[in-house]
Structure 1
Amino acid sequence: MNPLFEMGKVLIFLGIILVVVGLIFSFGAKIPFLGRLPGDIAYHRGNFHFYFPLGTSILLSVVLTLIMWLLRK
């Protein structure tokens, strides 16, 4: 195939991913489970707050891996 055609497909796919990520950032607070899954690490002490969404990251990784796998089939 033409390399420019392949590059066009990659750019369209990246654009779709950016739109989905933008929607998640815009409406993420309204998604009930996002950011409060078991495994998410939250540490609060005085004025210091540390939050690492480990469980959410793993879930998003699995979902994105499945989507990529389905798109390759």
Structure 2
Amino acid sequence: MELFILKTNVRSSVMRDVLALQINQIPQIKKWSVDYQDCDGVLRASAEGLSINSLMALIVQWGFECEELND
């Protein structure tokens, strides 16, 4: 299982809920959270059989901004 950590433009509970409608439909994502109160809107996602690039492409497709955060 891979852990992905992304900086996003998710800045409110409404934006988080919109993201949840999409991300919960991806069976490869086993667990996820987003800290919309953090200045980086940090999204953490545990996934199996999904690459970081694929996840980032989906997030952008859904209308959000994201970039990989390094530890």
Which TM-score applies when normalising by structure 2? 0.29
Greater Cα radius of gyration, structure 1 or 2: 1
Counting strand residues as a fraction of each chain, which structure ranks higher?
2
Counting helix residues as a fraction of each chain, which structure ranks higher?
1
Which TM-score applies when normalising by structure 1? 0.28
Structure number with higher relative contact order (C-alpha < 8 Å, ≥ 6 residues apart): 2
